[in-house]
Structures are given as structure tokens and as C-alpha cells.
């Protein structure tokens, strides 16, 4: 009995010791403010998405950075919004933190275009989140290709840089999507920690979720659209607490060791 207990403890200990050094994380993020149905939906999507990444079926799909270095990457989807995106940029400037913005190309006009240029000029990554925010799994390879290229062309017209890193809207991918993206020379960037700011509009809950689940090398999913005022409110505390915990903020190209733009 004692021998069995010893080996049980040994397996638990070694599993916990090496759990965060296996290279590819699971996707975390939870809140008591989420209802049961949404939690179950997220759990199912996370497993179905991360398993092919971890077993190597999906190529050039990235979830997190180095799990042995105390670095994290802040990423913001659904920009540009000249209101909340600019407010996020103000916070990042105040703390001298660089981030990565996955932007939708269709709204890039007028004041929104200025926000895109501002983000690039201030040293952040401006990357693609497709042209019209579709579920890529609903599209043909030709339509996916058009979404990728027209988005990068619009960003290049505003910033002078053609991004080759993109994030699929809703994180919606399958083998066909991944193969099409790779054929076009892009890489897919997902996330390992979901702030859940798209689902919960309570800044304290967003902060608690991020700080509770943070791991070395995490890529953190956040948003900066018109609907994300709570994100703006939560961001200063998230940055301050992660700084206190000893984390360094990197852009996704830095944390992954990838090129962000076509040379």
C-alpha cells in the first residue's frame, strides 16, 4: 500500500513539475459569470482546437510562447475602433508596453484608419483578423485566400507593412483552413489564455481571470472594439499585477520567434 501511494505521489509530482514545459499549452480562462452552456461550448471548442495543434496535425498554428521564460504577450482582436482602441493605446503608452493588434480591415477608414497608423507608429504589431470577420470554416479556400490578402493589403496601404501573421475570427479553424492559410504563406496565431472580455463585461472579473490563470509564455486574448469598455478599465490593473509578478511583455513575433511582416 505504501509503495502504491509513493508511486501515485511520484506521478502527480512529476506531472506537475513538467506540465508547463511541454511546449504547447491548453487554452485557459474561466469565470463564475459564464453560464453553464457557454462554459461547455468553450470547453468543447478548446479541446477540438488544441488537440490537433499538440499532436502536430495542424502546422504553423501557434498557441503560446516559451513556457520556461517569464514573458507574456497581450493581443487585442476586433480593432480598429477609434474609441476603445485609442484608449487601449493610451494605456499601453502610459506603461510603455508593446502589444499585438489583430485588426479587421473593412472598418479601416476615416478615424479608424488613423488608429491603425497610430498603433503601428507607436511600435505595436498591426496584424490581420480578416476583412469582414467571417468564420473561415464556412468559406472556400478561394474565399479564405481573399480574406487574408485583402486584409494584409489594406494594412500595408496604411502602415507600409504587409502582415503574414493572422488570427482567425472566433478561433474557427479546421484542416482545410490551416492548409489554405499555410499555402498562402501565413501563420495562424491563437492564444493560451482567454481573458473572456468578449463574454463578461465586468473589469474585476476580467482581471481576476487573467491573473488567476497566467503562465509563463502565455498569449493573452483581449479585445478593443466598441463593445470592450471593460477591457480598457481592466488593462491597467492587469499590466501592473503582471509586472509585480515579474512578467515581461513581448509582441507575438518576439514571444514566438516569427517574422510578423513580409520582407
Phi, psi angle pair for 129, to nearest 5°: -125, 25
Domain membership flag for residue 2: no
Band (22; pLDDT cuts 50, 70, 90) = low
Task: Evaluate if pTM is beyond 0.85.
Answer: yes
pLDDT of 15 strictly over 50? no
CA-closest candidate to residue 101, choices 23, 159, 61, 175:
159
pLDDT of 43 strictly over 80? yes
C-alpha grid cell, residue 225: 472594439
Q: What is the pLDDT of residues 47-60, one digit of tens each?
A: 999 999 999 999 99
Helix (H, G, I), strand (E, B) or coil at 58: coil
Q: How many domains does the chain have?
A: 1
Domain membership flag for residue 215: yes
Helix (H, G, I), strand (E, B) or coil at 248: strand
Query: Which CATH number goes with the domain that contains 219?
Result: 3.20.20.370
pLDDT of 1 strictly over 90? no
Q: Average pLDDT, stretch 208-227?
A: 97
Q: What is the pLDDT of residues 80-89, one digit of tens each?
A: 998 999 999 9
Domain membership flag for residue 16: no
Domain membership flag for residue 128: yes
Domain around 103: 23-256
Domain membership flag for residue 151: yes
Domain membership flag for residue 15: no
Q: CB-based burial of residue 18 (10 Å sphere; 0-12 exposed, 13-18 middle, 19+ buried)? A: exposed
Per the prediction, the chain carries an average pLDDT of 92
pLDDT at res. 170:
96
Percent of the chain with pLDDT over 70: 92
Please tell me the distance from the alpha carbon of residue 58 to that of residue 122, in angstroms, as a whole number. 33
| Higher-pLDDT residue of 196, 226 | 196
pLDDT at res. 190:
98
Distances (CA, A) of 217 to 7, 69, 150, 180, 234: 30, 6, 31, 27, 21
pLDDT of 17 strictly over 60? no
pLDDT of 8 strictly over 50? no
Q: What is the pLDDT of residues 124-181, one digit of tens each?
A: 999 999 999 999 999 999 999 999 999 999 999 999 999 999 999 999 999 999 999 9
> Number of helices (H) and strands (E), helices first, in the chain?
9, 9
Strands 71-79 and 219-223: parallel
Domain membership flag for residue 13: no
C-alpha grid cell, residue 246: 515579474
Give the residue numbers annotated as catalytic, written as ranges: 77, 223
Q: What is the pLDDT of residues 28-40, one digit of tens each?
A: 999 999 999 999 9
Amino acid at each position: 500500500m505504501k509503495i502504491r501511494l509513493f508511486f501515485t505521489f511520484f506521478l502527480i509530482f512529476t506531472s506537475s513539475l513538467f506540465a508547463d514545459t511541454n511546449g504547447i499549452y491548453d487554452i485557459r480562462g474561466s469565470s463564475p459569470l459564464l453560464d453553464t452552456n457557454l462554459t461547455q461550448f468553450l470547453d468543447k471548442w478548446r479541446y477540438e482546437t488544441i488537440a490537433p495543434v499538440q499532436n502536430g496535425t495542424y502546422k504553423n498554428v501557434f498557441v503560446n510562447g516559451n513556457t520556461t521564460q517569464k514573458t507574456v504577450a497581450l493581443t487585442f482582436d476586433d480593432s480598429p475602433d477609434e474609441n476603445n482602441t485609442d484608449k487601449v493605446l493610451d494605456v499601453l503608452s502610459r506603461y510603455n508596453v508593446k502589444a499585438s493588434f489583430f485588426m479587421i480591415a473593412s472598418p479601416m477608414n476615416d478615424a479608424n484608419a488613423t488608429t491603425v497608423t497610430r498603433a503601428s507608429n507607436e511600435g505595436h504589431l498591426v496584424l490581420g483578423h480578416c476583412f469582414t470577420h467571417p468564420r473561415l470554416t464556412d468559406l472556400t479556400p478561394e474565399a479564405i485566400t481573399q480574406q487574408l490578402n485583402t486584409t494584409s493589403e489594406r494594412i500595408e496601404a496604411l502602415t507600409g507593412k504587409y502582415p503574414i501573421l493572422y488570427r482567425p475570427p472566433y478561433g474557427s479553424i479546421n484542416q482545410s483552413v490551416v492548409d489554405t492559410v499555410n499555402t498562402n504563406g501565413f501563420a495562424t496565431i491563437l492564444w493560451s489564455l482567454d481573458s473572456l472580455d468578449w463574454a463578461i463585461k465586468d473589469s474585476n472579473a476580467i482581471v481576476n481571470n487573467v491573473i488567476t490563470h497566467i503562465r509563463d509564455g502565455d498569449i493573452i486574448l483581449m479585445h478593443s472594439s466598441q463593445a470592450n469598455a471593460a477591457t480598457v478599465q481592466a488593462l491597467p490593473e492587469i499590466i501592473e499585477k503582471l509586472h509585480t509578478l515579474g512578467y515581461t511583455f513581448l509582441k507575438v513575433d518576439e514571444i514566438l520567434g516569427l517574422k510578423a511582416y513580409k520582407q
